[in-house]
Structure 1
Amino acid sequence: MLFLLPPSETKLDGGSGVSGLSLGDLSFPELTGVRQDVIARLTTLARDPEAARAALKLGPRQLQEIDRDLVVESSPTMPALARYTGVLFDPIDAASLTDSQWEWARRHIVIHSALFGPVRAGDAIPAYRLSHDSRLPGASLKSTWRDDVAAVLQATGEFVVDLRSEGYVALGPLGSRSTYVRVVSGDAGGRRALNHFNKKSKGLFVAALLADRPELSTLDDLLVWARMRGIVLEAGAETLLVSESVLAEPGAQRTGTGPSR
């Protein structure tokens, strides 16, 4: 089972690797040609700071992001799960993960980058700035990525739990062996989609998975694990994640539970 996350616009600087980005070492090598194309278009854009500011929707205090993009091919790299920061990734706290948690993450967590397409948690990537709605020279990111992303994820044969935002779903919609997760409130007024706690709830959900490291194959397996964890997942046309069940105090969450094989 794969858990497909959106990226974050905020990223850590730094990393290691004197030779910078190695596209050939990234997961899903079928995407190498598309990755090269998008990188070339991004670096071309970055050479025109005013055009880049508009295309990347940068404010006056964010212009250093253009410098990141200029040197994206030679910048230091770090594992993708450690590169991204922000509301979704903070609960995961990649810096504190154990070796066994990193092993599970490398096998089961995929992050959908607008620049690199899907990458696995351990893939080494540089800091960059590009979002799903950025406007690069040439074709749109949607038309660039859509078919290829859908094809490589389908080719894994894995059931995909889609935790992406709708903007990233448009860059690679999934087929029948997947479920889209929507975060809702479980208050007395019924189910209500959330914005503020959406990313945090997804981050806590992934953190719980990393704590337990269950081996899951089907949606039913996931529902059983969640029920044992006290996490409310409701499967239907979409899978609903009830925010209150993951926004509990960390001490209330159990570890080492759930189906394994």
Structure 2
Amino acid sequence: MLVLLPPSEGKTPARRGAPPLDLTALSHPGLTPVREKVLDALVAVSGRPDACAVLGVSPGLADEVARNTTLRTAPATRASRVYSGVLYGAAGLDALTPAARARAVAWVRVTSALWGALTIDDVVPAYRLSMGTDLPGIGPLAAAWRGPLGVELGAAADDELVVDCRSATYRAAWTPPPGARWVDVRVLREVDGHRAVVSHHAKHTRGVLTRHLVTRRGRAPRDGDELAHVASALVGEALHAVELGPVPRRGPRTLSLVVL
């Protein structure tokens, strides 16, 4: 199984004194050449007066953008600590038993505009960069990552169920090949018998599902039907209903998690 997560917008810096980034120690070493190029480009643009505008962030985040200029020397820590948004708070990937952590390291990949893809044990500094950015010297990041991620994640997804919890922005960087057992996880809210897609609560619910997948006992689900069966254990606790869509002619199958 391969569980694909988006990064959180907010990131928690490592404590002072922690070792800096070692690009050669990250998983998926085939991504290292692109990581080097994107990192150099980000460091360069983040020192410009118009950095916030180029990176598409508000002036209130200028300090986070300025921090990008020190990424090669800044303290780094495990990705499970750096990513700290709503999804990651619900997933609790930095508070797992050894067995659950081993499953999470093997199964979970965080897609990143800067690193391409990470395991939760990869050690990185906090940064500010979105996959939707057109980065000077690189171009649109989703396009820059598409080929390298196709090789790296394509190999990791070979003959595996792909559980896709990413947003559309990050999905643009890589989609599983045709014929893959690819399931898109969406979250709906039901009010007075009507259902609608939700945004903020969707992050929390996808985090709950991720934690359930890595902490439950038993083998990993192998297809959409088994995934829906596993997710149904959350009905009555975190979910109102779980619904699996039909197998489409192309693209992912949809797993709808319905919340109240």
Which range is displaced more, 34-43 or 217-226? Answer: 217-226
| Corresponding residue number in structure 1 for 2:232 | 227
8 Å contact kept, 2:18–2:77: no
Where 2:109 maps in the other structure, the secondary structure is strand
Quote how far apart the aligned CAs of 1:134 are: 2.0
With the length of structure 2 as denominator, give the TM-score of the two structures: 0.85
Deviations 1:105-141 (A, max 9, x none): 1111110011000111111111000001123103210
Where 1:24 maps in the other structure, the secondary structure is helix
Where 2:104 maps in the other structure, the secondary structure is helix
Quote how far apart the aligned CAs of 1:186 are: 4.2
| Corresponding residue number in structure 1 for 2:31 | 31
Counterpart Cα distance in 2 of 1:222 and 1:130? 32
Counterpart Cα distance in 2 of 1:137 and 1:65? 18
Counterpart Cα distance in 2 of 1:16 and 1:235? 48
8 Å contact kept, 1:201–1:243: no
8 Å contact kept, 1:226–1:233: no
| Corresponding residue number in structure 2 for 1:108 | 107
Counterpart Cα distance in 1 of 2:245 and 2:208? 19
Counterpart Cα distance in 2 of 1:96 and 1:19? 21
Counterpart Cα distance in 1 of 2:130 and 2:192? 36
Alignment CA distance shift 1:62-1:214 (3 Å) = farther
Quote how far apart the aligned CAs of 1:187 are: 4.8
Query: What letter corresponds to residue 208 of structure 1 in structure 2?
Result: H
Q: Aligned to 1:180, which of 184, 187, 193?
A: 184
Quote how far apart the aligned CAs of 1:57 are: 2.4
Counterpart Cα distance in 1 of 2:132 and 2:233? 38
Alignment CA distance shift 1:140-1:105 (3 Å) = same
Unpaired runs of at least 5, structure 1: 248-261
Query: What letter corresponds to residue 65 of structure 1 in structure 2?
Result: E
Quote how far apart the aligned CAs of 1:79 are: 1.4
| Corresponding residue number in structure 2 for 1:55 | 54
Greater share of residues in strand: 2
Matched, 1:77 2:76: yes
Matches within 5 A, 1:5-20: 5-15=5-15, 19-20=19-20
Counterpart Cα distance in 1 of 2:170 and 2:25? 23
Counterpart Cα distance in 2 of 1:60 and 1:16? 25
Matched, 1:67 2:66: yes
Query: What letter corresponds to residue 222 of structure 2 in structure 1?
Result: T
| Corresponding residue number in structure 1 for 2:255 | 240
Counterpart Cα distance in 2 of 1:56 and 1:228? 41
Which range is displaced more, 71-80 or 58-67? Answer: 58-67
Alignment CA distance shift 1:25-1:235 (3 Å) = farther
8 Å contact kept, 1:35–1:115: yes
Q: What percent of counterpart residues are identical?
A: 33
